Amino acid sequence: MTTSQRTVPASQRTMTASQCTTPTSQRTADASQRTMTASQRTAPTSQRTMTTSQRTAERQEILQQTRIVWRSGFEAQVAQFLANLGPVKTALGLPATWEAQLQTRKNSFTTALNSLDLAEANYRQAKQSKDTARRSLESEFRNLVRQLRANPSFTNAMAASLGLPPRDTEPTPIQPGSEIPTLEVEIQSLRHTVRFWQADAQGGRRGKPAWARAIRLVYAVVEPNEPPPPIEQMQFLAVDTASPPRATPTRLL
């Protein structure tokens, strides 16, 4: 049974090999799809820009429609009330000036609402003009600041007098932290594969600390049960960030 079973994986392996051409075409299709996706990446930016302006216009339209519905509904109700109040007053024997205060306040409300509509229209126009002027001002201001920065005679004192932040021409040294990476050594015949990562408080893996650029690996070859030498006496192996380096000594520490 073992012999017959051994032939099955062989046929399966043959089928697997024949099927290898399919992923190639699929990878080609995926590559074209990725190309299409890359070409389409510019669309969301313009769409987001259009969406922002459209969202503002849409909010204004909703507010306007809400105000129109509320105004037309309430004013129509008050207008209907005043227009048809005469017969009711007569039937109930109400005074002729019974609704005078209502009419006066309705007229005041209509005047105030018309003034609000005009003020909002003027505000939207003024705000649009202000935004356009702000973009033009920022563009010219940044243009002049770039010209000043490009001048070798422009000093930080000049920048400070103009209200500009000074340019840091001397990189600030970064002090190393206390984090220590975790190492894993996979031992194979005449080869050691070193993997390393930074463990978090929960024992998971995360990227290297912000202050670290890479890991510096050193090693020493010792006899079994022999303690390792000081780090200063070990041999340099590699400076690496992620790829697992390989070494060939008998024992790697």
From first to last of its 253 residues, the chain has per-residue pLDDT tens of: 444 444 444 444 434 334 434 444 444 444 444 444 434 444 444 444 456 666 766 766 666 666 555 555 787 889 889 999 999 999 999 999 999 999 999 999 888 888 888 998 999 999 999 999 999 999 999 999 999 999 999 999 999 999 999 887 777 788 888 888 888 888 888 788 888 888 877 777 777 787 888 888 888 888 988 998 998 899 898 888 775 555 554 444 4
pLDDT of residue 160: 93
Residue span of the structural domain in which 141 resides: 45-161
pLDDT of residue 40: 44
Q: In sequence order, what DSSP letters do the residues of the chain get, joined into one string?
A: -HHHHHHHHHHHHHHHHHTTHHHHHHHHHHHHHHHHHHHTTHHHHHHHHHHHHHHHHHHHHHHHHHHHHHHHHHHHHHHHHHHTHHHHHHHHT--TTTTHHHHHHHHHHHHHHHHHHHHHHHHHHHHHHHHHHHHHHHHHHHHHHHHHHH-TT--HHHHHHTTPPPP--SPPPPPP-S---EEEEEEETTEEEEEEEEE-TTS-EEPPPTT---EEEEE----TTPPPPPGGGSEEEEEESSS--EE-SSS--
Is 77 domain-assigned?
Answer: yes
pLDDT of residue 190: 79
In a shared domain, residues 49 and 142: yes
In a shared domain, residues 87 and 120: yes
Domain boundary among 113, 130, 161: 161
pLDDT of residue 68: 57
Question: Which pTM value belongs to this model?
Answer: 0.39
In a shared domain, residues 143 and 215: no
pLDDT of residue 162: 95
In a shared domain, residues 235 and 134: no
pLDDT of residue 50: 53
pLDDT of residue 245: 57
Is 4 domain-assigned?
Answer: no
Overall domain count for the chain: 2
